[in-house]
Amino acid sequence: MAPIFWFMRRSRVRAPIDLAAFGDGLAVHSSRDVSWRGDEVVCRGPRPAACLACGSTGTEETLVVHAHGFLERQLITVRRGQVVRVRLKKQRWRCYRCGRTSHSRPPDELPRVKACTLCVVVFLHAVLVFAGLGWAMGLPALCGNLISSRTVVRWRQRALVLAAATEEAIRKAVEKRARLEPGESHLGRGLSPPEWLLRRPWHQPGKVSGLWCGIQFLLTAHQTLSVGCADILAQARGLTGTASFLL
Ligand SMILES: [Zn+2]
């Protein structure tokens, strides 16, 4: 078969990733006081009840930890169906007693990762759906300017290590949310990976399957429960406690 026909035959069934289907990243979390201001995101709270360094607490009237400016960084996220870079402003806190500072984090921000959790999931989804063709085939060209192929490979490797835990956390978060939302849901259907994906020469096909199921679970819940993917990811991350989540 001529290469072009081989390519068309393989790519025909794989539609480009619909970024809008994932909703927006860095969703507003009232518990963390996360809000959008134009093209920047501000994460204010909550105020730590005690200093993380010295443990001082103070009283309701004389809290030891007080607001002390903002810490800013660039974060890549998904908004209105596009992958974009935004400015994230995180409230910085300072302790009166020891002078040490800390800062608030939105649940969408992973330590030392340049993109929010939802953006990472979008790229991992593209890696799986376009396995054999290259993730860049499924995403807008601009995505390649924001996230390098080396970064995506690193994310894939790390995500596969944690695939089972990620799937379980997403599943628990969805189940928890489903009980809160009255009505019918069909979360158990169509979650298994397609055969062609598992036939590929993965080192650990079980982990690929776990990652696929977790992402499909997320997307199905987003559609059937009308809950933002970013919200579910935030809840799932909260359920993992101090353990690593996603990457
Ligand atoms: Zn302190």
H or E element that contains 212: helix 205-225
User: Ligand 1 centre and the CA of 92: distance in Å?
Assistant: 13
Query: How confident is the model over 150-166, as pLDDT tens digits?
Result: 999 999 999 999 999 99
* Three-state secondary-structure class, residue 36: strand
User: Ligand 1 centre and the CA of 66: distance in Å?
Assistant: 11
pLDDT the model gives residue 75:
96
User: Ligand 1 centre and the CA of 45: distance in Å?
Assistant: 18
User: Ligand 1 centre and the CA of 32: distance in Å?
Assistant: 21
pTM assigned to the model: 0.88
User: Ligand 1 centre and the CA of 242: distance in Å?
Assistant: 21
Mean pLDDT, residues 81-97 taken together: 94
User: In angstroms, rounded to a whole number, what is the distance separating the alpha carbons of residues 180 and 77?
Assistant: 27
pLDDT the model gives residue 88:
96
User: Ligand 1 centre and the CA of 96: distance in Å?
Assistant: 7
Query: How confident is the model over 212-225, as pLDDT tens digits?
Result: 999 999 998 898 88
pLDDT the model gives residue 187:
58
User: Ligand 1 centre and the CA of 135: distance in Å?
Assistant: 46
pLDDT score of 204 more than 60: yes
User: Ligand 1 centre and the CA of 129: distance in Å?
Assistant: 48
Mean pLDDT, residues 145-150 taken together: 95
User: In angstroms, rounded to a whole number, what is the distance separating the alpha carbons of residues 64 and 94?
Assistant: 8
* Three-state secondary-structure class, residue 170: helix
Mean pLDDT, residues 65-94 taken together: 95
User: Ligand 1 centre and the CA of 99: distance in Å?
Assistant: 6
R_g (Cα) of the chain, nearest Å: 20
**Size of the chain in residues:** 247
Mean pLDDT of the chain: 87
Residue 208: how many other CB atoms lie within 10 Å? 22
What is residue 70's DSSP assignment? E
Helices 229-239 & 117-129 angle (0-180, nearest 10): 100
User: Ligand 1 centre and the CA of 65: distance in Å?
Assistant: 8
User: Ligand 1 centre and the CA of 137: distance in Å?
Assistant: 50
pLDDT score of 109 more than 90: yes
pLDDT score of 1 more than 80: no
* Three-state secondary-structure class, residue 75: strand
